């Protein structure tokens, strides 16, 4: 690699357009672990499962005026309303977005009562 070829961390960082500390951290992980990839399980744990996300989206598209709290109640998840809201807004196509996801903007769903 470049480091073994005599290049400094600064030289390598400039060549790849990265921060010097990023290059240093990658090199250090490579020399310690033999890999520069992320470890399994690193990062923030998911707030919802993939299955819950699919159900959130399906209900939000079918009932566009449903609030996030109503959708969460129908799905029957332990995830909080914020996770439901984020799941719907970040994983749904803009054309399929609910008209409202705020609890004060709509009446209860007929099947949620």
User: Is 24 domain-assigned?
Assistant: yes
Helices within the chain (DSSP H only): 9-16, 20-33, 50-62, 68-75, 81-91
User: Is 80 domain-assigned?
Assistant: yes
Lowest mean pLDDT among 40-44, 55-59, 61-65, 92-96: 92-96
The count of other CB atoms within 10 Å of the CB of residue 106 is 17
User: Is 79 domain-assigned?
Assistant: yes
Are residue 55 and residue 83 in the same domain, yes or no?
A: yes
User: Is 43 domain-assigned?
Assistant: no
Check: pTM over 0.85? Answer yes or no: no
Q: Give helix 81-91 / helix 50-62 axis angle, nearest 10°.
A: 70
Give me the phi and psi of 96, to 5 degrees please.
-105, 5
Distance in angstroms (rounded) separating the CA atoms of residues 50 and 62: 18
Are residue 25 and residue 56 in the same domain, yes or no?
A: no
User: Is 67 domain-assigned?
Assistant: yes
Higher pLDDT, 103 or 11: 11
How many structural domains is the chain composed of? Answer: 2
Distance in angstroms (rounded) separating the CA atoms of residues 7 and 14: 11
User: Is 8 domain-assigned?
Assistant: yes
User: Is 105 domain-assigned?
Assistant: no
Distance in angstroms (rounded) separating the CA atoms of residues 91 and 93: 7
Average pLDDT (13-34) is 91
What's the angle, vertex CA 57, arms to CA 52 and CA 63, rounded to 5?
Answer: 120
- Encode pLDDT of 70-105 as tens digits: 877 887 777 777 776 777 776 666 665 555 545 455
Residues of the domain holding 17: 2-33
């Amino acid at each position: 690699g470049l480091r073994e070829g005599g290049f400094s961390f600064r030289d390598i960082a400039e060549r790849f357009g990265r921060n010097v500390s990023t290059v240093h951290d990658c090199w250090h992980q490579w020399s310690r672990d033999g890999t520069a990839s992320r470890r399994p399980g690193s990062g923030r744990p998911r707030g919802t499962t993939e299955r819950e996300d699919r159900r959130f989206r399906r209900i939000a598209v079918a009932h566009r005026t449903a609030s996030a709290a109503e959708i969460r109640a129908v799905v029957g998840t332990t995830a909080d309303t914020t996770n439901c809201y984020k799941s719907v807004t970040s994983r749904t196509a803009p054309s399929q977005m609910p008209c409202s996801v705020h609890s004060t903007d709509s009446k209860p769903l007929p099947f949620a009562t």
